[in-house]
Structure 1
Amino acid sequence: MSKEEYTVRNAQPAEFEEIGNLMVEVYSQLEGFPKQQEQPDYYKMLANLGALTNKPSTELLVAVTSSNKVIGAVVYFSDMQYYGSGGTATREKDSSGFRLLAVAPSARGKGIGKLLTRECMKKTEADGNHQLVIHTTQAMQVAWTMYENLGFKRAFDLDFLQGELPVFGFRLAI
């Protein structure tokens, strides 16, 4: 049996609802992460993730199987003014960012998160930016470790609170 091949591409509008459902499923299952009833506006944004592509310099990337099944997604920003987080990240210059990375539970452990992250790294370089900014939480330890293994460094100046949830900033020099 050959190893499954995965591709990263821009999401199609017909996939936006499926991607939103994936985001809600993944984020609502994170232990220690606020639930839908605690942060309804956040989950509404997750469910309607495709709407973020209406912002300039913003792409919704998906990882798909060879049969075109969506198994992961992330939102990439080539201009941080559209990043939409709390804190100071939106004032970063010559920087790209990504947010809202999620991998389908059935596809975990297959390198999908790393594949999506590496695509954002390539896009940052292609866009002529010098750093890639991200945020994560304590509830996202698997992702946190992956980011550090890829060379991201903690950026305490980018930390902020989302409601009562501490959100931690990271930078990667490109």
Structure 2
Amino acid sequence: MEIEIRNADPEEWKRLGQIMVDVYSSLDGFPRQNEQPAYYQMLENIGTLTKNPNTEIIVAVDSQKQVLGGVVYFSDMKYYGSGGTATAELNSAGFRLLAVDKAFRGNKIGKRLTQKCIEKAQQDHVEQLIIHSTKAMQTAWGMYERMGFARSKDLDFMQGQLPVFGFRMRFQK
């Protein structure tokens, strides 16, 4: 399967938001829409995050330009939008909300989206790349660790009743 990883076009935001809602709402142990409606509204309207400076939506598309998944990249952590201390991290980039359409899993799309974020962070000459995950996201968690991210308990926080775990990848200077 031919897959292109690139910045999303605004007309692709709605489809990516639908994928994100579908993926996150189906995770065992993850809050449902009725438990965190504002979170799911943010996912549905994922394109609004680009109103913040230094924020990009990256998508994976096939040869027919069908959106297969995506992620939000922040070259300035003050726009990252998580709980905890991550938004105060200086000289850092981050990404959040990685999701791959269930029909296209197993094609290394999540890994390619993550790699694109790593490349962007290196091009931005930051010291580290920060991400968060939950116990419900064990597949992603394992992938992040295999790619070189290390658990960083200082970035952990609670999102309501949900523990959220921080990871970082430090870059050589």
TM-score of the two chains, using structure 2 as the length reference: 0.98
Secondary structure of the structure 1 residue equivalent to 2:60:
strand
Of 32, 35, 40, the match for 2:32: 35
C-alpha RMSD over aligned residues:
0.6
Measured after TM superposition, the shift of residue 109 of structure 1 is 1.0
Matches of 1:21 and 1:109 in 2, distance apart? Answer: 20
Deviations, residues 47-95 of structure 1 (Å, cap 9, x unaligned): 0011001100000000011111100100000000000000000011111
User: Which residue does the alignment assign to 2:61?
Assistant: 64
Gaps of 5+ in 1: none
Which aligned segments of 4 or more residues in structure 1 are displaced greater than 6 angstroms?
Answer: none
Matched, 1:73 2:70: yes
Q: Select 1:155's aligned residue among 121, 141, 152.
A: 152
Q: Which amino acid aligns with 2:110?
A: G
After TM superposition, the structure 1 = structure 2 runs for residues 115-126 of structure 1, keeping only pairs within 5 Å, are: 115-126=112-123
Equivalent of 2:44 in 44, 47, 66 = 47
Structure 2 Cα separation of the partners of residues 15 and 110 of structure 1: 20
1:8-19 equivalence runs, <5 A:
8-19=5-16
Instruction: Give the letter aligned to residue 130 of structure 2.
Output: V
Matched with 1:102 is 99
Shift of 1:157: 0.2
After superposition, what is the alpha-carbon deviation per residue over 1:11-40, rounded to whole angstroms, capped at 9, x for unaligned?
Answer: 111111111111100100101100000000
Question: What is the CA–CA distance in structure 1 between the aligned matches of 2:128 and 2:15, rounded to whole Å?
Answer: 30
Aligned residue type for 2:71: V
Q: CA deviation at 1:5?
A: 1.6
Kindly indicate whether residue 139 of structure 2 is the aligned counterpart of residue 139 of structure 1: no
CA distance in 2, matches of 1:23, 1:49: 9
Question: Are 1:22 and 2:26 an aligned pair?
Answer: no
CA distance in 1, matches of 2:88, 2:122: 19
Structure 1 residue 45: Cα displacement: 0.5
Q: Which runs of 5+ in 2 are unaligned?
A: none
Q: Distance in 1 between matches of 2:63 and 2:112?
A: 15
